[in-house]
Every structure is written in C-alpha cells, then in structure tokens.
C-alpha cells in the first residue's frame, strides 16, 4: 500500500514512517502543511493518506477526497471534526493516543476493503441523554413517525416528541438526520 503521511509534527511523521515501513507499507511522501499535502497528493498518487486535522495553514479535513482512502489521525476527540471527517468520506478517525497496532489493523482492513468508518472510543453517553432518550434515538434511524415510535416504545406520541426535542437540544442539532449523524459518530447507536 502506498501511503502519504501529513502531520505538522516531525516526531509524529518520522515515528509513523518507521512503524509503517516496519509493517511493510511503502511511504511515498510526507507533508507538514495543506499546501505541501496538495502537491504530494498530485505527485505521489497514494492509496492511503494519514492526515492530521490541525495543520499550520488549514484543516487536514479539507484534503479528503473520495478518490483516495483517508485516515484522520488527531489528538482531539472533537465531535465536530469527527462528524465532518465522516461526511467528507474519511475511512477512519483515529486518536494519536491509540496504539500503533490499532492503526495497522485499520490499514490492513482498508487494504482488504473490509473496513467501515471507525470512530475513537468516546464516552458512550457524553450528552447526558436519559435511558428513554437513548431508546428513542436508537429507533430514530428507522425513519418512523413519532406515532410509530410511540407505539413501539409503549409511550404517547407527545412523550416521544418531547424526547425528540430534548435529544435535538442535547446533541445541538436541528433535525433527525443531524441527530442520527451525531449519534452514529459518537457511538450512541449502531450503524
């Protein structure tokens, strides 16, 4: 697999190069900025790009294209960055605190096309959703009306609507689609 590494910290880049080469991957380039990365992407045509979110001249997320597999490697577990990475088509979102074996495992799965978007192990209920709200959000992705959800959960329609309003407020979203995206990205519900 031809790999391009984009990170503004030389220690991280060099450590990744060594670990990935030891595991048998071919490093075709390195970049520390968005501008350098754009040039490297054109010149090297990698199979996989490992990119940091925060670069000196912009966001690594702006580099993600559907033509190449991207693994976002970052220090923070920012839900906004995670959601944006998923929306733009990143293959995975990995925290820099994870062991190298985790990154290598993801790369192997990507090479075999058996991998689906992965998120870091974030706290399951970081939004302080109640158990009943978690029940509602679990079935939200089924596309049911509030009346259908109410029947399934043995609640009144008004109660389901109240739970939905609370979920939207806590997740800081405006509609079902956004709620489902945030819930998926934060492992509140299964794909």
CATH number at residue 175: 1.10.10.10
CATH number at residue 23: 3.40.50.2300
Q: In 107-135, which positions are buried (b, 16+ CB within 10 angstroms) versus exposed (e)?
A: beebeeeebeebbbebeeeebebeeebbb
Residues 52, 103, single domain; the answer is: yes
Q: What is the pLDDT of residues 74-105, one digit of tens each?
A: 886 666 777 788 888 888 888 887 889 889 98
* pLDDT digit string (tens) for the chain, length 191 residues: 899 999 999 999 999 999 999 999 999 999 999 999 999 999 999 999 999 999 999 999 999 988 899 999 988 666 677 778 888 888 888 888 788 988 998 898 887 765 556 555 444 457 888 888 888 988 888 889 999 999 988 899 999 999 999 999 999 899 888 888 888 877 787 65
CB atoms within 10 A of CB 95: 16
- Enter the pTM of the model: 0.63
Residues 37, 93, single domain; the answer is: yes
Domain hosting residue 138, numbered range: 131-185
User: Would you call 138 helix, strand, or coil by DSSP?
Assistant: helix
- CA angle centred on 120, ends 134 and 72, rounded to 5°: 130
């Amino acid at each position: 697999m031809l790999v391009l590494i984009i990170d503004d910290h030389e220690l991280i880049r060099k450590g990744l190069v060594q670990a990935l080469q030891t595991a048998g991957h071919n490093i075709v380039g390195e970049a520390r900025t968005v501008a350098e990365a754009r040039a490297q992407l054109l010149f090297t045509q990698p199979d996989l790009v490992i990119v940091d979110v925060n670069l000196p001249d912009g966001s690594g997320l702006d580099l993600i294209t559907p033509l190449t597999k991207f693994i976002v490697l970052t220090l923070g577990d920012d839900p906004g960055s995670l959601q944006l990475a998923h929306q733009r088509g990143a293959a995975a979102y990995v925290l820099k605190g994870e062991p190298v074996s985790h990154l290598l495992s993801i790369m192997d799965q990507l090479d075999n096309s058996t991998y689906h978007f992965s998120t870091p192990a974030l706290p399951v209920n970081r939004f302080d959703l109640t158990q009943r709200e978690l029940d509602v959000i679990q079935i939200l992705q089924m596309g049911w009306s509030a009346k259908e959800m109410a029947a399934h959960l043995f609640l009144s329609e008004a109660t389901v609507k109240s739970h939905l309003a609370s979920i939207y407020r806590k997740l800081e979203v405006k509609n079902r689609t956004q709620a489902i995206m945030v819930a998926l990205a934060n492992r509140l519900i299964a794909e």
